[in-house]
Amino acid sequence: MLIIPAIDIQDGCVVRFVQGKLDKKVYSKDPVKTARYWVNLGGEFLHVVDLDGARSGEVKNLQIIKDIASSVNVPIEVGGGVRTLESIKDLLMSGVSRVILGTKAAQDRGFLEKAFSLFKDKIIVSIDAKDGFVSIKGWDESLKGKGATEFGRSLKKMGFKQAIYTDISKDGTLKGPDIKGIKSLIKETGLEIIGSGGISSLKDLQKLKSLEKKGLAGIIIGKALYEGKFTLTEALKLTRERS
């Protein structure tokens, strides 16, 4: 099970939010240095989000993303404002290993089918849900007609093997992950899931680790690492131990 440190970028800084919008906090003014820090501690994969892009609808921090990709020797996945095939190409050409699709994937099935046919496992869809429904546009809007499970099933049918799942109500709260939601999504969709949101302790990670053999492929961790609730070294040690 991968432990994936998150690097959320806004206005050139590394920031964290609560539920996507409340209680913004700046943790670093140097995203590249932050990326190197996580890799030096043993991080094997990085999750980078262009928050400016997520709300504007187009990638805004491409140069910073390029600098991160060229500065670390591990794969990075990037999302936020990726709503055209050209944007996907630009990111992959910049050294990004995998591009995360959210809003456009949820709104435009034709686009998603075309993207998947061109890029296959170089793209992954993020199922960002609140009250069971998919949210879009930087989590500012909810698609009331599109349930998270239904969306996940459509991804599996299309050919995707993995998806990212975030319970928005948990994100940045340090109140524990949506274990029930993750288990349900794995069972109901047949997808491998990368979970995100609410991680607060090593105890949370221990609970999630029990889902590894059932289809939990990784965990994205942001605020808990930045707030020092536990270290990346401790998290990696725990997940590498035999169950």
- Options 8, 50, 167, 204, the catalytic residue: 8
Q: Is 8 considered catalytic here? A: yes
Distance, first Cα to last Cα, the chain: 12
DSSP 180-224: HHHHHHHHHH--EEEEES---SHHHHHHHHTTGGGTEEEEEE-HH
Main-chain phi, psi angles of 24, to 5 degrees: -60, 140
Tokens representing 201 are 């302790």
Query: Cα Rg for the chain, rounded, in angstroms?
Result: 16
Of 76, 136, 77, 133, residue with least CA distance to 105: 136
- Options 52, 128, 167, 204, the catalytic residue: 128
> In Å, how far from its chain's centre is CA 111?
20
Tokens representing 199 are 């991680």
Q: Is 52 considered catalytic here? A: no
Give the number of other Cβ atoms within 10 Å of residue 110's Cβ.
7
Residues 6 or more apart in contact with residue 135 via CB below 8 angstroms: 20, 128, 129, 141, 142, 143, 168
Q: For residue 29, what is the DSSP state?
A: S
Of 126, 123, 52, residue with least CA distance to 89: 123
Catalytic residues: 8, 128
